[in-house]
Amino acid sequence: MARYMEALTVERGGFRIKVPESWWEFDVRPESRDDSIHHMVTERLRAHPELAPHRDTYISFLRKAAADAWKSGALYCGCMAEAFGGDTPITGSVTVSLVGGRTSKGDPLPTGPEAVTAQLAVKEAKREGDSWRKVTTVDIPGVGPAARTYGIEDVPVPDDELGRTIRAVLMQTFIPVPGQEGKVALVAGSSQVLDLAESFFDIFDAITSTFRFAD
């Protein structure tokens, strides 16, 4: 998977980040995302017809990723969907969202790494195959320290009345936004390909390390 690390810089209002150039960015707005996804998949399959059997899988994955990103307030969303000679495509995504919170008294929540990690729960796997989560801090070059969680987690399916979850490789990095109390830039990477968890942790870490606030 190392070939994916040829980078493309993405710039948005307030930040920039480098992602693998083979990843796709797509419009997450409800009124236009379906057309955008169909167009991107069609273009991709035109260039790589061997991926055609996986068309429905790609479209379904991208639709869900776009919908989840929109609901979470994403400012950027990019995904990968590639077949490496097997029957199941390798999929993953990275989103950048601006999130914030307040206390019960209405005061902005602290965003320093120590304060954020204190609010994040570690989860230990009791037996093989269980979900787990680690909490740590990282130093992002040119940005500074940030809180992070990573692990294999059971992520709730949005708006699911049965309370179902999807197990996924998940890394979330909470980067304090300068000059904005209670606000963090949340860089989240996820994949449902659990067997490649360590590889995806490396990729998500490499992408997140390129995050910079715009001047």
- Average pLDDT of each block of 10 consecutive residues along the chain (215 residues)? 55 84 80 88 87 89 81 82 72 89 83 94 93 97 96 86 92 94 93 94 96 88
pLDDT of residue 4: 40
CB 153 within 8 A of CB 142: no
pLDDT of residue 84: 67
Find where tokens 């995904």 sit: 79
pLDDT of residue 2: 37
pLDDT of residue 1: 40
pLDDT of residue 7: 65
Beta-ladder partners of 187:
96, 173
Whole-angstrom Cα distance, residue 153 to residue 192?
A: 10
Nearest-10 crossing angle of helices 33-47, 55-71: 140
Give Dmax (Cα) for the chain. 57
Beta-carbon contacts of residue 206 (< 8 Å; ≥ 6 apart):
5
Whole-angstrom Cα distance, residue 90 to residue 83?
A: 6
Identify which of 46, 8, 2 has the alpha carbon closest to the alpha carbon of residue 24: 8
pLDDT of residue 73: 77
CB 166 within 8 A of CB 154: yes
Whole-angstrom Cα distance, residue 55 to residue 35?
A: 14
pLDDT of residue 6: 57
